[in-house]
Copies of this chain bind each other. A is one copy, B any other.
Amino acid sequence: MEKQTQSRRVTINDVAERAGVSYQTVSRVLNNHPRVAEKTRDRVNRAIKDLNYYPSSAARDLAARRSRVIGVVTCSLAYYGPTQMLVNIEESARREGYDLIFANVTPTDNKSMQAAADMLRRWAVAGVLVIAPVKTRAYAALLEEINGIPCVQIDIERGTDAASVIFDQYRGIQLVIEHLVSLQHRRIAMIDGPEEWFGAKARHDGYFDAMQTAKLRTHVIGRGDWTAASGYQIVESLGADVSFSALVVANDQMALGAMHALMKAGYRIPEDVSVTGFDDVPEAQFFTPALTTVRQNFSLLGQQGLRQLQLLLEDRTTPELQVIIQPELILRASTATPHTL
């Protein structure tokens, strides 16, 4: 590795000169073109190493009129789910040789959406992955704005007529209800998540339909905002009116808050009330008591998201429009047959 005398950038021409070939041959080596003699290839790679050369992505994208950048639009990175999605998408993308440019948006903020769309257009990204767990006008505007750019939506409404990857959260809650029913629970209440979230809707619907199948009365005691605080408040506001033996909560954090409030009110878990969560955050196992919950495979989600996008990029057509990933019920200590029986 030589030091450069000037701070001028090392270009493909410098490499070509050193290797004694034309710039085009260097370009071929860079792009793994098959018709380069082994010997030449070695010589070029040698020169690249020696000069400490890095191809300019900006120049490549400009000249090739296509980019190797994927845009990721996320929201609500404060929550467990979206963060996991981002990390796993990044991993998949890097493995496939894409760079990631990323924008975090506020689902209700048109400004942030416009900024994200601007960025995606300016960089002429090859494709976009939008994590859109919420239904808002701002999201619709974003999708409209990037119309024409291959796009896969993550964690969106089931049945959406667009390339997407989702978890089967509806089924996830059904697994929970089936489990509780098998434990002899008959009075099963629920705490919903925020109305605008697709996931909250799916979990709600799963509860309703499973309860109907089991011929049980539904009882939604409140709607939280995913935070432990809201779960706590909903249970606390119930006062002495805990007329259920099991409480199905739409996510782990709210379940934590709910358990906290139940125990404060003198209820034992699971002896008096069983509680379940959703997401299986890493801490759930160590809540008191350890939480029965539903696990989602984020790694698979990331992979599938990128795969869908690549299919779109290749032949502009997807075999399955919506990939649905099945969740897994995780049994722990917060559920049991009620003692009142």
Please indicate the chain B residues that have their CB under 8 angstroms from the CB of A69 in the complex. Answer: 101
Given known A-B contacts A229-B286, A288-B260, A62 and B54 have beta carbons under 8 A apart: no
Q: In the complex, are the beta carbons of A229 and B86 less than 8 A apart?
A: no
The reply to whether the CB of A22 lies closer than 8 angstroms to some CB of chain B is: no
Distance between A277 CB and nearest chain B CB, rounded to angstroms: 12
The residue on B at minimum CB distance from A52 is B121
The reply to whether the CB of A21 lies closer than 8 angstroms to some CB of chain B is: no
Interface-located stretch among A129-137, A189-197, A251-259, A304-312: A251-259
Distance between A15 CB and nearest chain B CB, rounded to angstroms: 14
Q: In the complex, are the beta carbons of A54 and B101 less than 8 A apart?
A: no
Q: In the complex, are the beta carbons of B122 and A104 less than 8 A apart?
A: no
The reply to whether the CB of A115 lies closer than 8 angstroms to some CB of chain B is: yes
The reply to whether the CB of A103 lies closer than 8 angstroms to some CB of chain B is: yes
Q: Which secondary structure characterizes the binding site on chain A?
A: helix
A260: contacting residue among B101, B257, B286, CB under 8 A = B286
With A and B bound together, what is the CA distance between A101 and B125 in angstroms? 12
Please indicate the chain B residues that have their CB under 8 angstroms from the CB of A84 in the complex. Answer: 78
Interface-located stretch among A87-95, A199-207, A313-321: A87-95
The reply to whether the CB of A328 lies closer than 8 angstroms to some CB of chain B is: no
The residue on B at minimum CB distance from A7 is B148
Count of this chain's copies in the oligomeric assembly:
2
Q: In the complex, are the beta carbons of B83 and A228 less than 8 A apart?
A: no
A62: contacting residue among B56, B124, B263, B287, CB under 8 A = B56
With A and B bound together, what is the CA distance between A301 and B54 in angstroms? 32
A214-250 CB contact bits vs B (8 Å, 1 = yes)? 0000000000000111011000000000000000000
Given known A-B contacts A58-B67, A62-B62, A228-B283, A100 and B101 have beta carbons under 8 A apart: yes
Given known A-B contacts A286-B257, A288-B263, A58 and B102 have beta carbons under 8 A apart: no
A interface residue count range (under 10 / 10 to 19 / 20 to 34 / 35 or more): 35 or more
The residue on B at minimum CB distance from A290 is B260
The reply to whether the CB of A271 lies closer than 8 angstroms to some CB of chain B is: no
A window 74-125: CB within 8 A of B: 77-78, 83-84, 86-87, 90-91, 94, 99-104, 115, 118-119, 121-124
The residue on B at minimum CB distance from A86 is B77
- Please report A residues at the B interface, Cβ cutoff 8 Å: 9, 54-59, 61-62, 65, 67, 69, 77-78, 83-84, 86-87, 90-91, 94, 99-104, 115, 118-119, 121-124, 227-229, 231-232, 253, 256-257, 259-260, 263, 282-283, 285-288, 290
- With A58-B123, A91-B104, A229-B286 known, 6 other A-B pairs at CB within 8 A are A54-B121, A62-B62, A256-B286, A260-B287, A260-B288, A260-B290
10 contacts between A and B (CB under 8 A): A54-B122, A56-B62, A56-B122, A57-B124, A58-B67, A78-B282, A99-B123, A231-B286, A232-B286, A260-B290
